[in-house]
Amino acid sequence: MRCVARYGLDGSTLDRVSEEAGVARPMLRHYLGNRDEMVDALFKHVIEKFAATTEYLFQSLPDLDPSSDARMLRVETLLDMLFDAVSHEAENAAVYQALVAASHRHAGMADALMGFVTSFERQITTELTRAFPQADPSKCAVVAAGITAVYFNHDAAMPLDPPTSWRDRQRAVADLLIASLA
C-alpha cells in the first residue's frame, strides 16, 4: 500500500515493493506471486479494509432510539465522522484512487470498487430513511448520493491539506442536503 500510495499502481514495481517490504525480490515472488497476483492481493486487502472500516463507522454511531432527536444524533455523528480531517488517511485515499484509475485493466475490479461505493451510499440512505421517516425514500437516496459524492471529493482532496474553511464548506454542503429532508 505504501508503494502504491507513493508511486501509483504502475510505478509500484516488484523491486520497489521488495525494497519497501525489506525482503528479497525472489522471496516476495514466492509468497505473493507475480505482479498481477500482487495487484489482486492488494485489491482484495483494500476492499476488505474499507469494508471493515465502513462497518466500524456505522457500528460506532449512537444506538438507535425511536425519538427524532436520537435519530438526528446518529446522522450528525455520521457527518462528523465523515468530514473530520483528523481521521483521514492519505495513503488509503491514494491507493483507492490508484485502483480506480487502473480498474479498467483488471477484471472485476471496477465492479467491486463501484459495489463498495454503492454499498456505502445505501448505508447512508438507510440512516437518512430512519432519521427522516416522513421523507420520500427516493429523496433520501438522492441526498445520500450527494453526501457520498461530497465525502469522496473531500477525502480525495485531503492530501492537499485544504484550509479549514474549505473543509467546513464541504460539511456545510452535506448539512444543506440533510436539511432538504426536513
Question: Whole-prediction pTM value?
Answer: 0.85
User: Does residue 20 sit within a domain?
Assistant: no
Q: Which carries the bigger pLDDT value, residue 30 or residue 143?
A: 143
Averaged confidence pLDDT in the chain = 89
Give the pLDDT mean for 43-61: 90
Q: Residue 142 sits in which domain range?
A: 43-179
The verdict on residue 33 lying in a domain is no
The 3-state secondary structure of the chain reads CHHHHHHHHHHCCHHHHHHHHCCCHHHHHHHHCCHHHHHHHHHHHHHHHHHHHHHHHHHCCCCCCCCHHHHHHHHHHHHHHHCCHHHCCHHHHHHHHHHHHHHHHCCCHHHHHHHHHHHHHHHHHHHHHHHCCCCCHHHHHHHHHHHHHHHHHHHHHHHHCCCHHHHHHHHHHHHHHHHCCC
Of 11-20, 78-87, 100-109, 172-181, the range with the lowest mean pLDDT is 78-87
Q: What local confidence, expressed as pLDDT, does residue 85 receive?
A: 61
User: Which of the pair, 34 or 169, is modelled with greater confidence?
Assistant: 169
Asked if 83 contacts 167 with a C-beta cutoff of 8 angstroms, the reply is yes
Question: Which pLDDT score, from 0 to 100, does residue 111 have?
Answer: 93
pLDDT tens per residue, range 145-165 = 999 999 999 888 888 888 999
The answer to whether position 72 is within a domain reads: yes
Q: Specify if 131 maps to a domain.
A: yes
What digits encode the pLDDT tens for the residues 70-129?
Answer: 778 889 999 999 988 666 677 888 888 899 999 998 888 999 999 999 999 999 999 999
User: Which residue from 110, 135, 115 is spatially nearest to 125, judged by alpha carbons?
Assistant: 135
Looking up residue 139, the CATH number of its domain turns out to be: 1.10.357
Q: Is residue 151 part of a domain?
A: yes
Number of domains in the chain: 1
CA atoms within 13 A on the CB side of 109: 21
Residue 25 domain-assigned (yes or no): no
Whether residue 14 is contained in a domain is answered as no
Please name which of 134, 169, 135, 133 lies closest in space to residue 154, comparing C-alpha atoms.
169
In a domain, residue 83? The reply is yes
